[in-house]
């Protein structure tokens, strides 16, 4: 798609009825202050509340609003991908609708972009309104990901960022199904920098990333950018096998050279459970990768769009 506006702001939304009007008002205020053309691309990810109805009302009054309405919920990362594929701006900004990422930071990103940077990501210096558990797991996740992957993925960074049109076009050429967008942006390269900001407390509504989704998100991140878990499974299998061999030699020496009777059925039972548990864990790791191969082999579209609103040529 050829560039027809200066800025595209992609906002994935899922059941954001309490906050969506405030999000639009703040984004409009910020983008109007640039004095340049822009579009607000809302991607409705199968909301079951009145989010889409509110967006339709807003779009009838504000022609800068464009809506991609999914046929069902396909997930946050897929919603971002759809926004990138249909954005037309020379610079593309991704921001969530919950207002934890302050829209005014976009102006700092634009300033960096005009200095020549092609990716400007928001780096969280502080996280307001989040539980100690979520902060702790976030710290662990980013540092663990750094050690597991060969791609340098910035720590304490979410999807809130600005990317140049060249980067957006490169992202559109990637069609893998289980997506970790912030990792893909790092993978494609280009000239990258950051702006620091304080992540605010959610303005309204509830988080769309409970623990179950966070775990799935972490698995997608690790398996998309590293095969080290498979290497770890191989190494663990080798270590366990060696331990078993040494234990066998120890038992044989006790029986035939020392004459000590072999006892300890409880130890054998415990070892059996431990070894079976390790085996199942290794099979689970292999299964995660096989499942992703299966998803790629099916080659289904990433998403299905029910409606496009205010797009001239979607």
129 shares a domain with 50: yes
d(CA 230, CA 189) in angstroms, rounded, equals 26
* pLDDT score of 313: 67
Q: Check if the beta carbon of residue 295 is closer than 8 Å to that of residue 177.
A: yes
Residue with the bigger pLDDT between 312 and 40: it is: 40
Q: Is 90 helix (H, G, I), strand (E, B) or coil?
A: strand
185 shares a domain with 242: no
State yes or no: pLDDT of 228 exceeds 70. no
Q: What percent of the chain has pLDDT over 70?
A: 71
162 shares a domain with 199: yes
* pLDDT score of 26: 92
Does residue 132 lie in a domain region? yes
Q: Is 112 helix (H, G, I), strand (E, B) or coil?
A: helix
134 shares a domain with 101: yes
Parent domain of 57: 5-208+301-309
182 shares a domain with 277: no
Residues 46-89: tens digit of each pLDDT: 888 899 999 999 988 888 999 999 999 888 889 999 999 898 88
280 shares a domain with 194: no
57 shares a domain with 185: yes
198 shares a domain with 88: yes
Does residue 30 lie in a domain region? yes
* pLDDT score of 120: 92
Lowest mean pLDDT among 37-51, 62-76, 263-277: 263-277
Residue with the bigger pLDDT between 184 and 228: it is: 184
Q: Is 214 helix (H, G, I), strand (E, B) or coil?
A: helix
Q: Check if the beta carbon of residue 95 is closer than 8 Å to that of residue 13.
A: no
Q: Check if the beta carbon of residue 99 is closer than 8 Å to that of residue 19.
A: yes
107: closest CA among 190, 11, 195, 200?
195
Does residue 223 lie in a domain region? no
Residue with the bigger pLDDT between 166 and 296: it is: 166
CATH of the domain at 64: 3.90.550.10
Does residue 218 lie in a domain region? no
Does residue 111 lie in a domain region? yes
Other CB atoms within 10 A of residue 77 CB: 19
- H/E element, 152: none
Determine the average pLDDT of the residues in 179-200.
Answer: 83
CA dihedral of 152, 156, 159, 161, whole degrees rounded to 10? -80
Residue with the bigger pLDDT between 205 and 73: it is: 73
Average pLDDT, the chain: 79
Determine the average pLDDT of the residues in 235-258.
Answer: 69
d(CA 188, CA 120) in angstroms, rounded, equals 14
Determine the average pLDDT of the residues in 222-248.
Answer: 68
* pLDDT score of 67: 92
pLDDT band for 42, please (50, 70, 90 cuts): very high
113 shares a domain with 165: yes
pLDDT band for 94, please (50, 70, 90 cuts): very high
Does residue 216 lie in a domain region? no
Does residue 267 lie in a domain region? yes
Q: Tell me how many domains the chain contains.
A: 2
305 shares a domain with 288: no
* pLDDT score of 266: 54
141 shares a domain with 270: no
240 shares a domain with 152: no
Q: What percent of the chain has pLDDT over 90?
A: 20
Determine the average pLDDT of the residues in 92-108.
Answer: 90
* pLDDT score of 1: 46
pLDDT band for 210, please (50, 70, 90 cuts): low
Q: Check if the beta carbon of residue 199 is closer than 8 Å to that of residue 216.
A: no
Does residue 215 lie in a domain region? no
Residues 118-166: tens digit of each pLDDT: 999 888 877 666 667 666 766 677 677 667 676 777 777 778 899 899 9
């Amino acid at each position: 798609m050829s560039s027809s506006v200066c800025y595209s702001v992609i906002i994935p939304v899922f059941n954001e009825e309490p906050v969506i009007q405030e999000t639009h008002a703040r984004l409009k205020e910020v983008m109007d202050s640039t004095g340049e053309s822009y579009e607000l691309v809302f991607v409705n990810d199968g909301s079951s509340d009145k989010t889409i109805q509110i967006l339709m009302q807003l779009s009838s009054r504000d022609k800068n609003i464009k809506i991609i309405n999914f046929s069902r919920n396909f997930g946050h990362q897929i919603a971002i991908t759809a926004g990138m594929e249909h954005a037309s701006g020379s610079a593309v900004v991704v921001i969530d609708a919950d207002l934890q990422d302050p829209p005014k930071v976009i102006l700092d990103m634009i300033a960096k972009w005009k200095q020549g940077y092609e990716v400007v990501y928001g780096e969280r210096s502080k996280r307001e309104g989040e539980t100690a558990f979520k902060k702790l797991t976030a710290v662990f996740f980013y540092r663990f990901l750094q050690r597991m992957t060969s791609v340098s993925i910035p720590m304490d960074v979410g999807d809130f960022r600005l990317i140049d049109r060249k980067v957006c076009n490169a992202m559109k050429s990637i069609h893998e199904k289980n997506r970790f967008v912030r990792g893909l942006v790092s993978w494609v390269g280009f000239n990258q920098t950051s702006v620091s900001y304080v992540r605010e407390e959610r303005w309204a509504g509830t988080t769309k990333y409970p623990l179950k989704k966070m775990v799935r998100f972490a698995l997608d991140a690790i398996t998309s950018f590293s095969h080290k878990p498979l290497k770890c499974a191989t190494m663990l299998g080798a270590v366990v096998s060696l331990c078993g061999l040494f234990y066998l030699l120890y038992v044989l020496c006790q029986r035939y050279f020392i004459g000590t009777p072999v006892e300890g059925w409880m130890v054998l039972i415990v070892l059996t459970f431990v070894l079976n548990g390790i085996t199942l864990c290794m099979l689970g790791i292999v299964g995660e990768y096989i499942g992703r191969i299966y998803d790629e082999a099916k080659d289904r579209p990433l998403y299905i769009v029910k409606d496009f609103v205010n797009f001239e040529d979607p």
